[in-house]
Structure 1
Amino acid sequence: MSADITTICLVDAPPELGRAFEGEGYRVLDLHASPAPFFDLPAALAGAGFTPDLVLQVERLGVRSVLTGLDSLDCPLLFWAVDPHLNAHWHSAYARLFDVVCSTQKAWIPRLAERGAPDVRWLPWFGLDRPFNPWEERVHGLAFVGRVTDQRPARKWLVEYLMDKGAACNPAIRDSVPKAAMLDLYSRSKIIPNESIFGEVNFRLFEGACCGCLVVGQAIDEQAELFEPGREMDTYDHVVELDDKLAGYLANDKLVRTMSRAAHARVRAEHLPVHRARRIVEYARAASRNRATGSGAAKWTALTAGAMWEAGVSEVGLKTVLDLLGGVDQDGDIMAATLRLHALVDAPKLLEENLKALLTRPTAGAPDLNLAASMAALRLNDFKWAKTFWYRHLEDGGIEPVPPESPNALYTLWARDLQRRGLALRPGFGFDPARHLPATAMECLMMVLEDTPQDLPTLRLMDAVLRPVFGTGQTRVGYLSILTLFERDDWRLALEIALADLAACRLESGLEEMHLARELAVKAGQEPAFIRVLKGRDPSGRIAARLGIGG
């Protein structure tokens, strides 16, 4: 592919990015594919009489559109995954249709590449070039804008905390406002507390910084490569640390202003649309032709459509999706996707026919297919078939079979296997045990809890699965609370629920649980062990300080 780029086709891109490319001297065609479920890009280019040297599709949040005909274009093809932390379950298939995939989240690059995308690059979001509003016009000491729903209890707890903490500084808390109004609000504010869903570097960081605010957000590794903690923004691991830091900043207006100016300057120096436009061109010039073509393109288009339909983010009809899956070579990926959709629409006869066919053919080297088939057999209440596909999976790894005694035991075996393979959960995927086939460790364990809601070993295993996963504190609070009802004297369990509470911004209840955990440890003669564990889990020492524990 030619490295000479003068014309660029943007699909569903924000207008600021198009203007940045034009400002750099490129000729730009701006197309809007969404909300069309499928968009024939070559036909649209022909209709516009435009021949691009580069095509970039930016994921549109809301109704997504799948581009078709990409393998016929003779220029670099790039896809910018804006929300990989919520959509990697279909992004990883869609990635195969492009030469380069860009991810706003560095940490999610492996998940986007897990189905074979060879070139996935980091491309963070950006801020806007806005003036630094005079400090004396900033009437809100704290401001937060974000959707607050029952599905996001941690955010509700954060908002409740901020309203109390900032009561004396005219806090501005808004559920949802248009972008222009939000930026105007930020320009009249000083400190922007931030909260992520699954450890992602979100829009709020760039929006607050470009408005000249001090953003105080959760500690995320890649964030430090964008803004310097302690100079251009600040971080916290839990609400005790947030509480301490906000108290200090609300009492030191000069420091807040200095850090806000530094953040504003960093945006202008490195994080404007023009900086991202230049990086996109750089990636395109170095791109190889990595996209799937021919039957491969048809396969990954079908798998993308199937994954989106399963997740409920596609307007395509089921027949269309099944026709796409049925029109390509029936390899393990395609058969697994088909089983999941047949289960989703409650088609037991089709599930049975497909499973009978699979029983007569080898499925070695197809862990996703063996999993889907085993789960489909359990959906049909055929435990024997379900075990057969579990044994086939074990044969691939040379593992001696462990005969499960019940469906719940088999779900647990699959859960442990998926945990070992790093498949803890599908963030952003609304799993329904009554409709979906499990594909992750958490989903298998949810199936067990559907049958036995207070199964203590399963609840403990769920804790082991989710404990390392950023942003799951609010979920852990729920089932850890059940565990504590049965194991009231376990100080380690009390400590876990305290830490989960504090991670989910429940300050008072978290500290109450922490005091209880210490009391239980003292009663058991294990206070030194309690202190060692606490210090290991809270390197800042701020929780220990609240308990009166010295360094």
Structure 2
Amino acid sequence: MGLCTVKDKFNICIVGPFGAGVAALKQLGHAVLSVPQGEELFCNLPDILEKNSFSPDLVLQVECLGKRTLIQGLDTLDCPTLFWATDPHLNLHWHNTYGRLFDQVLSTQQSLVLPFKLEGLSDVRWLPRFAFDLASPPITSRKNEIAFVGRLSDQRPGRKWMVDFIKSRVGERPFPIEQSLSHSEMLALYQDTKIIPNESILGEVNFRLFEGTSCGSLLLTQDLGEEQASLFDPGREIDTYADAAEFEEKLKFYLGNDDLIQKMGQAAHKRVQSEHLPIHRAEQILDFAKDTARNRATFSEAEKWLAVTIASMWESGMLDLPVREVLSRLAASSQDENVVVATLRVQTVINANSVVEENLLNLLGGKLFEDSFGVNFTGSAAALRLGNWDAAKAFWYRHLKSINNTKLPPKEPKDLLICWAKELKKHQRVFRGGFPFKSKTHLPHTALDCLLTIYDNDPQDAEVLRLIDVMLRPRKELDQVRGGFLASLVAQNSSDWRLFFEQALTNLHSYRLDDGMQKLVLARELASERGQERAFSMALRGRDESGLIIKRLLDC
């Protein structure tokens, strides 16, 4: 049912903040109905279309990062429907169900296309953020050597560490730090700045990459691998750093090097003009829509997925909606495993313990959803919260039976949570970005949630601290979080050079160069005392992406 290839011009309905895209589509000759974000949570799109006498050939919703809007009536429309998830790294917990209401989901993060598909969405494609058609003033005419725009808070320690690190390295050079500029003011500042440093929350390719390059500035950004490198060529259009040692080296190299900044900034600006403007994204959206099949949920299925989405958003604190309405929508939906899990999670948040207990007994007594991993895990976690050890184990045994596995029975709640954490890791549910998990409020959803539940009860549990470290170690973007748990482990075992080594690397990945090098020196000394210098050297060679850490260590 893709976009009709016979027609040259289309009627396109855009819901959400995509003004630059609306202008681009009109420039291409298409008719566009732009539906702005309203104050209401729900948007009845068929009614809006009827009031505007607009018959769309394509509907695109662009996620708004402020006021959320959920579209109703998509299943009644006879045209392709697309949802562009602009912040999926922080919102996958509800994008993965809301996306069921659309034929196709577009993710700004290529790395999350597979996780979307693992959640059951059949058509997910990569559509990066976009840049802007702006002038690139000569570098020599710009007032600021380096500038940063972004909110600094305790919730983003890495960003503050980066800013402090730059302050300590730029000397007397102008380094404005702005936290509350309008978008146009921010772009004007970038046009008057030579170097833009970049730091992302969870290793995502963010808007700053495109905003800085739109202005012909040199983006100095974390090395995010192939996804980012496919958008801008490192070393030619932008530059990257793997750790604080390399970041310092790059700052020294570029500060005052106007000729090279001019060359790279203009190369990036040229790339923006040829590949990353709103008109390029608009053309890509139209191409995607041409081979879109009808994948969206309809009728009762659509109502179910909307109800589950609302429950997830409410649970995370995103929606100011009466819990009675949340539960009513779930109760009115077909009672499949997704609805059961969402209902248990919401009921747990409001401490509806007697109702949860009754639901768990009905699931076990009626042998309902015995093969559902989600129901068994959530039921087990809910039973643990209620102190019903027998029911918690019963759900675990149901899970083992469903996978034809026989393991030794867990002896206590901690054992059971660890068992579930390991199973969740197999299901690739290790960490959930953007969800503010609190073990006293929420039921765990990921492997890390299970371990944090144990940790919150006993922060000195060395076994759990090590398991948390193992879970987080492959995720370099989580080093800021991991560092706190490593500090606890080091405090318990101050003779383990490998712990100091890991702590050093988390510091070096988090702009704490001096602390990182001090810890690394200590790790080397401890390894030497045990005759393990070779093991230390091999470990460092395998993890020193820039090669500059080893070079610096030789001078220590």
| In 2: Cα distance, 1:549 partner to 1:399 partner | 54
Residue 72 of structure 1: which of 71, 76, 81 is its match?
A: 76
Q: Distance in 2 between matches of 1:486 and 1:115?
A: 39
After superposition, give the CA deviation of every residue in 1:407-449 in whole Å (9 maximum; x if it has no partner): 1111111111112221111110000111100011111111101
1:412 matches 2:410: no
> TM-score normalised to the size of structure 1?
0.98
CA drift at 1:466: 0.7
Structure 2: distance between partners of 1:376 and 1:139: 58
Give the alignment partner of residue 493 of structure 2, picking from 484, 487, 493. 487
CA distance in 1 between partners of 2:450 and 2:161 (Å): 29
Deviations 1:132-157 (A, max 9, x none): 11222211111111111101111111
Determine whether 1:531 maps to 2:537: yes
Q: Quote the residue 1:338 is aligned against.
A: 343
Amino acid at match of 1:304: T
Match of 2:200 in 1: 196
Per the alignment, residue 15 of structure 1 pairs with: 19
State how 1:16-415 maps to structure 2 within 5 Å: 16-221=20-225, 222-360=227-365, 361-415=367-421
Query: Please, which moves more after superposition, 357-366 or 45-54?
Result: 357-366
Q: Can you list the C-alpha shifts for 1:66-94, whole angstroms capped at 9, x where unaligned?
A: 11110000011000000000001110101
Deviation for aligned residue 1:206: 0.1
SS state at 1:71 partner:
helix
Structure 1 runs not aligned, ≥5 long: none
Counterpart of 1:386 in structure 2: which amino acid?
A: A
Query: What whole-Å deviation, never above 9, does each CA across 1:224-257 have from its counterpart, x for those lacking one?
Result: 1100011000111111111111111114221111
AA matched with 1:391: Y
How far does residue 401 in structure 1 lie from its aligned partner after superposition? Answer: 2.8
CA distance in 2, matches of 1:474, 1:446: 16
Instruction: State whether residues 34 and 60 of structure 1, in contact with CA within 8 Å, keep that contact through their aligned partners in structure 2.
Output: no
| Cα separation, 1, equivalents of 2:98 and 2:59 | 15
Distance 1:405 1:201 in 2: 44
Q: Tell whether the 8 Å contact from 2:17 to 2:37 is kept in structure 1 after alignment.
A: no
In 1: Cα distance, 2:475 partner to 2:67 partner: 27
- Which residue of structure 2 lines up, in the alignment, with residue 518 of structure 1? 524
**3-state SS of 2:172 partner:** helix
The equivalent of 2:467 in structure 1 is 461
Aligned mate of 2:434, from 424, 428, 449:
428
Residues 140 and 258 in structure 2, CA contact (< 8 A), matched pair in contact too: no
Q: Report the CA distance between 1:317 and its aligned residue.
A: 2.1
Q: For residues 377-412 of structure 1, what are the alpha-carbon distances to aligned partners after superposition, in whole Å with 9 as ceiling and x for unaligned? A: 011101110011011112222211321111111111
Counterpart CA distance in 1 for 2:405 and 2:242 is 40
The one-letter amino acid paired with 1:366 is S
Q: What residue identity is the alignment partner of 2:488?
A: I
1:169 Cα offset (Å): 2.1
Asked if structure 1 preserves the Cα contact closer than 8 Å seen for 2:61 and 2:84, the reply is yes
**SS of the counterpart of 1:87?**
helix
Give distance in 2, aligned partners of 1:32 and 1:322. 29
CA RMSD of aligned residues (A): 1.3
Following superposition, the deviation at residue 363 of structure 1 comes to 2.5
User: Could you tell me how far apart the structure 2 residues matched to 1:369 and 1:503 are?
Assistant: 38
Give the 3-state SS of the residue equivalent to 1:450 in structure 2.
helix
AA of the residue aligned to 1:438: P
Q: Percent identity?
A: 45
Q: TM-score, normalised by structure 2?
A: 0.97
Which residue number in structure 2 is paired with residue 502 of structure 1? 508
**1:217 aligned counterpart, secondary structure:** strand
Distance 2:57 2:476 in 1: 40
* SS of the residue 2:554 aligns to: coil
Deviation at 1:313, TM superposition (A): 1.1
Aligned to 2:458: 452
Amino acid in the other structure paired with 2:36: H
CA contact (8 A) 2:138 2:262 kept: no
Secondary structure, counterpart of 1:341 in structure 2: helix
Q: What is the CA distance between 1:113 and its match in structure 2?
A: 2.1
CA–CA separation in structure 2 for the residues paired with 1:407 and 1:365: 22
Provide the rounded CA distance (Å) in 2 between the counterparts of 1:454 and 1:49: 64
Superposition deviation, residue 286 in structure 1: 1.2
Q: How many residues end up aligned between the 2 structures? A: 550
- Give the letter for the 1:383 counterpart: W
Q: For residue 354 of structure 1, what is the amino acid of its counterpart?
A: N
Checking the alignment, whether the CA contact within 8 Å between 1:37 and 1:316 is kept in structure 2 is no
Distance, in Å, in 1 between the alignment partners of 2:134 and 2:513 is 35
The Cα offsets for residues 338-389 of structure 1, whole Å up to 9 and x where unpaired, read as 0000001111011011011101223233111111100110111011100110
Q: Structure 1 stretch 275-284 or stretch 312-321: which is displaced more?
A: 312-321
* Contact kept? 1:40, 1:68, Cα under 8 Å: yes
Instruction: Please give the alpha-carbon distance, in whole angstroms, between the structure 2 residues aligned to 1:59 and 1:167.
Output: 41
Deviates more, 1:307-316 or 1:124-133: 307-316
CA distance in 2, matches of 1:240, 1:196: 18
SS at match of 1:403: coil
Deviation at 1:549, TM superposition (A): 8.0
SS in 2 for 1:472: helix
